[in-house]
Amino acid sequence: MNPYSKPLPAPDADSAPYWDGCKQHRLLIQRCEACASFRFPAGPVCPNCNSREARWMPASGRGTVFSWIVVRHPVPAEVYGAEVPYTVALIDLEEGVRMASNVIGCEPEALHAGMRVSVHFDDVTPEISLPRFRPRE
């Protein structure tokens, strides 16, 4: 039985390379082959130029906190009750994309806009590793 009882991502045709990268502790994001813009989340078409050509590129894993919330009331309580308080944040990666994740390794009160963070991977099951972020110098 899997001891991890929280919801897990369900990789699909567009996102499977992303989750495969996470499993290898590599943060991969798509870059459009036509206009060179990065995009996240993964998708079949570039939102900037509508090209269908894209390549998976390793991201730096570095970013800054754009905004965040602190979850203090767990929903559902039986799943997240032991986790609170925890932080859900929007992280602006150096590549110019924004992703939602958790900031770990610091008290929620210590977070601030522009805080420098770097990616960390949690191997929550044998198949899934979740990217989370920690403060960095």
Does 33 engage in binding with Zn ion (CB under 5 A)? Answer: no
Q: Between 46 and 99, whose beta carbon lies closer to Zn ion?
A: 46
Least distance from Zn ion to the Cβ atom of residue 40, Å: 13
Residues numbered 46 to 75 that lie near Zn ion (CB under 5 A) are 46, 48-49, 51
**Between the CA of residue 102 and those of 5, 33, 73, 89, 91, what are the distances in Å?**
17, 30, 16, 6, 9
Q: Between 45 and 128, whose beta carbon lies closer to Zn ion?
A: 45
Least distance from Zn ion to the Cβ atom of residue 73, Å: 41
Residue pair 131/100 in contact (Cβ under 8 Å)? The answer is no
Q: Which two tokens stand for residue 107?
A: 């008290």
Least distance from Zn ion to the Cβ atom of residue 38, Å: 10
**Closest-CA residue to 24 (of 123, 133, 107, 136):** 123
Could you check whether the bond before residue 7 is cis, i.e. omega within 30 degrees of 0? Answer: no
Could you give the dihedral angle defined by the CA atoms of residues 109, 137, 98 and 93, in that order, rounded to the nearest 10 degrees?
Answer: 180
Q: Between 32 and 42, whose beta carbon lies closer to Zn ion?
A: 32
- The interface region with Zn ion, picked from 10-18, 25-33, 74-82, 98-106 by CB under 5 A, is 25-33
Q: Which residues bind Zn ion (CB under 5 A)?
A: 32, 34-35, 46, 48-49, 51
